[in-house]
Amino acid sequence: MFTVLRAFVGFALTCLLIAAIPSFPEPTRSAKRNLVKTICLDAGHGGKDPGCLGPKGAQEGKVTLKIILEVGKRLKNEFPDLKVVYTRDTDDFVELNERANIANRNRSDLFISVHCNAAPNKSAYGTETYTMGLHKTDGNLNVAKRENSVILQEKDYQTTYNGFDPNSPLAHIMMANYQSAFMASSVKFASKVEEQFSKVYNRKSYGVKQAGFLVIWRTAMPSVLIETGFLTNPEEEGYLNSEKGQSEVADAIVGAFKKYKEEIEK
């Protein structure tokens, strides 16, 4: 009898507890979780670090700044409510660590770093977009080492980057596990960038690749590094240093962002 009574009391208490739980409305379209509200745009190099140089004198740091400012202007026109943050909007030097800090402080939902490529072979041309990860080839490693070598111009870089040596292949490989939480979204956006370059503007695309870049190492959001073309190729130098080329590159990036935003906000 006591056992039956205890069971009945337990059942009654359970019913009371369930009744006390507040009911919440079903989530609506306005309460979507994956909204892209803030984007951080990074123009590679700049100031005392001109980046790679074209045979006719074009500087990577100045070309990337023009492209990134055009991207920002178009994004604000397309999405007035989108917050656009720049790591730099003038021809100044910004440390790689600080670029990531700017993105993190502003709670950015996407980080885009724009660069120009370089190669000993002056006929090399085309685009490629990187996410954080392991180097699949020596070519990927060489690109990462070149982009990361800018830290040698920073004060106390060994302390800032925990002893990182930009000339050590092992140091780059050890960075590969960072950004893993955002890998799927990073690859998704990177794929859309390369698709825009190849299908809309008929550019040669080397696709999406992985390598260890310091500029996206510590960003707490999906992040990509876009190599917009080879500045060491005279023809691509002319294209990237022209208003037409910069406009098309910017349009491709914005087009990729539109598709990415629409897809993840469904």
Q: Rounded to whole angstroms, how far apart are CA atoms 132 and 211?
A: 5
Q: Which CATH class is domain 34-264?
A: alpha beta
The Cα 215–Cα 111 span in angstroms is 10
Per run of 10 residues, the mean pLDDT along the chain (length 266 residues) is: 43 38 36 82 96 97 98 97 98 92 94 97 97 62 60 61 60 53 90 98 96 81 96 98 98 98 93
Q: What is the SS3 assignment for 124? A: coil
Q: What is the pLDDT of residue 39?
A: 98
Domain ranges of the chain: 34-264
The Cα–Cα gap between 187 and 184 comes to 5
Residue 42, both tokens: 């990074």
The pLDDT of residue 52 is 96
**How many C-beta neighbours within 10 Å does residue 23 have?**
4
Q: Which residue has the tokens 């696709």?
A: 207
Q: Which amino acid is at 221?
A: M
DSSP secondary structure of 79-110: -TT-EEEES-SSS----HHHHHHHHHHTT-SE
Nearest Cα residue to 158 out of 117, 80, 198, 214: 214
pLDDT for 133: 72
Question: Which pLDDT value is given to residue 143?
Answer: 60
Q: How far apart are CA 86 and CA 167, in angstroms?
A: 28
DSSP state of 198: I
The Cα angle at residue 76 between residues 71 and 78, in degrees rounded to 5? 95
